[in-house]
Structure 1
Amino acid sequence: MSATDDSRVHEPFRIAIVGGGLGGLALAIGLIKHGIDVHIYEAAATFSEIGAGVAFGPNSVRALGLIDKSILRGYRKHATFNEDPKRQHTFLSFRYGMDSRNGNGKTCGDLIMHMEDDQDMDKWTGTRTRSCIHRARFLDELVQLIPAGITSFGKALTTMEHLLGEESDVNSVLLHFSDGSTVTADAVIGCDGIKSKTREIILGNNINPKFTGEYAYRALIPRDAALKALGEELACNGQLYCGYGGYIITYPVEHGELTNIVAVRRKDGATWEDSQWVVPSTKDEMLRDFEGWHPAIIDLLSRSWVQGKWSLFDLQHSAKYSEGNVCLLGDSAHASAPHIGAGAGMAMEDAFILSNLMSTVRDQAELQRAFQAFDTVRRPRTQRVVKYSMLAGLAYEFMKEDVRDDLSKLQTDISARFKWLWHEDLEAQLLRAKELMK
């Protein structure tokens, strides 16, 4: 019997998913596949995603196929890869984004390393080591797999209360929404992002996102302009440019028709006081932040940038991801900075584990055990991703204390982190969670 096979018949129960982003939709598809009654409650008026490109490594793409092969098929339709055949196993090529200051003679654009997957674990997915997709395209593919009538929009969660069963101590949950409506469910899964109301309700106000000290500028560049400024090698394959106090990442999306640029800047001791996490900015401010950086990229950024500044937050903590029959998934539990391209992928891994665990639940009483097993197997890995993402940012910015701008140490540091991320055995993780439920 494989990790996903289970012949037991469960009693009907209803699951409320709070949040209709990528993680919530992937989970819903997995639950529906196993015949579980699910309803999605989304605060917005329609399904939507913020941002342009999102990168998936080998572990993330495998998770898509493990949830449901139809998700992987939809993903492949829009996935963009490195165009150079020699870079099919390369996740990113790391380069100097500015001249080295340590006397090693390295200058802007010089190669640091090609970060490659030496295990070639992406064969059955039909993808490559690095694949990128426009968030809106991926969302559209997921939405097509959601049956009509199982989503309610304009449902912003305000409070929840547990209701005691008449003949047992098993609780159901009454959810209250800002429009005055209520709904009862046997269990609730919060997929409502880094600002999760579900998390606030079950964990209190002591688990909050923290500003990483970094902010980013973004741009989407048409193919012809990127090719003219950067050349084919740099424009058509993923690159990450390291520098003192920041880094810039570039990669193709939309089958190479656009190049996504994200320029990240760290300021020592900086705080973020604004209630809005995206604030207006000026071209002069952006140019001051990246003075001395790769001139062709900064020129592209200055001509096509989205006029704003994105603050970066993460969510590192040791609290459990579940309380009773309420559970957290994705960014609501473990939002990370984007530095290793793992945030969306962790939500996909979560969705695979949790949907398959819940397929083994025979009655309401086992729901809590499923959530506890999910927390036990997922919290260590996902919280390590939060930590590793933070450390990766410091490394790219030549600010990690034990690495700084030492080229050989930087190569070792980067490689170890990505290989740990990519080579997780998710099916073994699921088997362990099922054993815990017993």
Structure 2
Amino acid sequence: MKIQAINGFKDILPETAIRWRYIEECARDIFERFGMREIRLPILESTELFVRSIGEATDVVEKEMYTFADKGLTMRPEATASIMRAFIEHGLHVQRPVQRLYTIGPMFRHERPQKGRLRQFHQLDAEIIGAVEPQIDAELIAMGQMLLDTLKIKTSLEINSLGCPVCRPPYKQRLVSYLKQVSGQLCDDCRRRTHTNPLRVLDCKKSTCKAVVAAAPSLLEALCPECDQHFLAVRRSLEMLAIPYSINRFMVRGLDYYSRTTFEFLTNDLGAQAAVGAGGRYDGLIEELGGPKLSGIGFAMGLERIALLMEQQAEEQLPVESMDVFVATLGEKSLTACTQLTHELRRQGVKTAIDYSGRSLKAQLKQASRVQARYTLIIGDDELERQQGILRNMSTQEQDLFDLSGSHSRQAERLAAVLQESCCQGSPSTISRNP
């Protein structure tokens, strides 16, 4: 029987991995401009962590988690809870009053695989812990927008406020009362959610439920004065930063820990999976998990969805990885010498390829083209004896003699200098974009 990848778990092949690495490098660059620091987390956590943080009545906990029931362990379905656990466990608030953390890695949910949705998926996750100011909400949203702009991904931003423990309970009562009146028009899931998690009814994707919910009372009209002022300040900050947005009064997100500001970056180019990134404030979560009474806000972006959008939307986006130099050998003596030279080049940071099979020069030049080498250094036994190789520019096909005198380390230094000079003069870099 042919063994294949499990449904919902996908291989990331080298051509795609180049794009992923580019996305990750852009994310790290931009996040660190905002003072974010990377944290790396385990994949397995206590099941109780996600039950207490995400919420027992959420779809994630009820249906989607990969749990080892006999061990009480779960493969993380999202990153925020894990970051909060690490934050509390290691007392990070003692080191810095405000922590800015990000992580990149795989998450796991048992969902029906489709375009932009897998059972093992990858996220960029960013969190700011210990700051309550509304300007922080806008700053975090601006950071996400900056990353999408850098990647040339077109999205729309929607925001909402979910209130706080003061204003949300009375609103829930009004909402439940309304939903009971229209119960016969709701789907089975929404009828169940009316009693377990009524806010989730507002987020149902079924057209019949959407039509019913359109007349439901709005949480924005029930915000307490503090939440109302906070949301107003967030909107003003976004406007000051020239970040366009629209208000979606039915956005509730799928996790129980959210409060006040919530937001989503949306696209129309991924079918049903409209959200490229999403997040919000979770002011009570840290205390709920046994930590200090601190505020927090964060977001996550799906790497698979970003990569798909880059492929669909953007021009000149796919990075192309090339080699700096391909070393072509002709003869046994040159192969021995070039093997040593290749190793020295790699030690000095030069991306170098070599063919050990003893093929013809024509075949090796074809191989150099396939690996997109900027230069090919041709060294046969005769060139080795004369101590003069041939350095061919693969773009222009121009050739120059290359000095092979001295040690392999000295030769490598000379070639590295030539490559560096060519970069300074505008030759293609080792990682470039498709024209």
Q: TM-score range by the shorter chain?
A: under 0.3
Which one has more relative contact order, counting CA pairs under 8 Å at least 6 apart?
A: 1
Instruction: Calculate the TM-score normalised by the size of structure 2.
Output: 0.25
Higher helix share: 2
Specify the structure having the higher radius of gyration (Cα).
2
Instruction: Calculate the TM-score normalised by the size of structure 1.
Output: 0.25
